[in-house]
Amino acid sequence: MSNLKDRPDNIGRLQEKLAKKNLDGTSIKEIQRNEPFLIAYTGVFDGYIVDMTRMFVIAT
């Protein structure tokens, strides 16, 4: 196992690298009724990464 005193610094560097790699942007397409759309976002906390992708639809 690596030296635990280095862990917080290493996690911070990993989070910084991941933030730079996450270049997802928004669409310019307008959301239409009865058409599914996807919202994808990522949570990062204390070295844990969570994908929170969800599908939605605005029904009539």
> If you write DSSP's letter for every residue of 15-42 in order, what string do you get?
HHHHHHH-------SPP-TT--EEE--E
Return the pLDDT at 36.
Answer: 93
pTM attached to this predicted model: 0.46
Provide the 3-class DSSP secondary structure of residue 59. coil
**Those residues with Cβ within 8 angstroms of residue 14's Cβ, 6 or more apart along the chain or in another chain:** 47
For residues 14-22, average pLDDT: 66
10 vs 42 pLDDT, higher one = 42
For the beta carbon of residue 11, count every other beta carbon within 10 angstroms. Answer: 14
Any idea where the domains of the chain sit in the sequence?
A: 4-56
Tens digit of pLDDT for each residue in 24-46?
566 677 888 999 988 888 888 88
Q: Which of 57, 51, 53 is nearest to 33 (CA)?
A: 57
